Structure 1
Amino acid sequence: MLRSQVLPARCALHQRRQFAVQVAASKGFGTKPKVAPKPKKDQPAPEPCPCDSGKAYKNCCGVVHRGESVAATPEATLRARFSAYVKGEPEYIISTTHPDYHVNHYQVPIPGGAEERLREDVAAACNKFAFTGLKIVGSEPGVNEHEGYVSFEYLSRKRSAPGAPVTEEEVKDTTAWSRTAERCRFLRTSSDVWQFVDYQTATFDSSMLGGLQQQQPEPVAA
């Protein structure tokens, strides 16, 4: 192609580009109309924490279960352990069980010497039973800053099948729910983790329960 033919072609191309810019600037043909943003769909209500703190699970015991935070007190540890039974988080329960519990509960000579039995028991409890209605009655200090006690009550019932969710009908069947009252002892390890050591069954009067006797169980997720 000769030079005299190239120059007119380049001028024509330049003119077309300028015209396209002018059209876009004046919002003429060829521009895409603005699309109104779609309204956000209704967000589902956050799942409440099983420990009955009034907070969402993901911001309460869920943070502890995910390892993003450590329960700072015996009561917080008990709440997280209870939620772990409800949510099926056996590893957290095992990790917050003191080695001396093995000696006290399984009558083994070595602390922590019954790990497999503990693991089987925890898995069975998570799968076979549903838990709800946790109420903290009180927390007490121990003989030093590394010991603490928590008194509480909760409701439990056997699931219709391992891991099966509790239905509305089963929730209303209050005769199937059992009430358990305990006073648990916790010890803090050198790494600042509170661990459950042992417990005693307990009885609390109505003034301590704050209306727990009238509470109805709520549906419990698997």
Structure 2
Amino acid sequence: MTRRNARRTAAEGATRPCPCGSAQAYGDCCGALHEGRAVAATAEALMRSRFSAYAVGDTAYLLRTWHSSTLPPRLTLDPGQRWTRLEILDTERGGMFDTVGVVEFRAHYRQSGRPGDVHERSRFARQDGQWVYLDAV
């Protein structure tokens, strides 16, 4: 793929609906966080951006937004798994003035043509002033 085609493909992806389920284009929503043009203001916003990172295959962002105490040495995504939809079921704290929060969600995917989902309560914390994923409860 030429550099020109790669730029066009990235620009087209930025205008597609964001995988997190917001009504915004990816480039204006989670794409801005993935590219470092914005930071997540809440734990839920970080959860949504991390789901989108799984959906677009952005392992660098996932690792960057993982708490240092639980950060895995590497992360390999399954290329056969396609993340399709996110449902936020509940949030506890995790607001703009909080230091910890919990987001319960259901993430839907397709693998080998079959649907599946992951149901999790994730804990988030602020580290160096930014929201990061800590672990699953």
TM-score by length of 2: 0.81
Partner residue of 2:61?
92
CA contact (8 A) 2:84 2:110 kept: no
Q: What secondary structure does 1:123 align onto?
A: coil
Aligned to 1:199: 136
Segments of structure 2 that go 5 or more residues without pairing to the other structure are: 1-11
How much does 1:80 deviate?
A: 0.5
Structure 1 residue 82: deviation in Å? 0.5
Between Structure 1 and Structure 2, the one with more helix by share is: 1
Residues 159-199 of structure 1 deviation map (CA, whole Å, 9 limit, x = unaligned): 5xxxxxxxxxx4xxxxx111221110001012x21111111
- Aligned counterparts of 2:118 and 2:57: Cα–Cα separation in 1: 19
The partner residue of 1:140 within 92, 99, 102 is 92
Higher strand residue share: 2
CA distance in 2, matches of 1:66, 1:92: 8
1:3-82 map, 5 Å: 46-82=15-51
Larger radius of gyration: 1
Runs of 4+ in 1 over 3 A off after TM superposition: none
Greater relative contact order (Cα < 8 A, sep 6+): 2
Q: CA RMSD in A?
A: 2.1
Structure 2 residue identity aligned to 1:180:
V
Distance 2:50 2:16 in 1: 17
State the 1:47 CA deviation.
0.4
The residue aligned with 1:123 is 76
The whole-number CA distance in structure 2 between the counterparts of 1:88 and 1:65 is 11
Secondary structure at the aligned position of 1:75 is classed as: helix
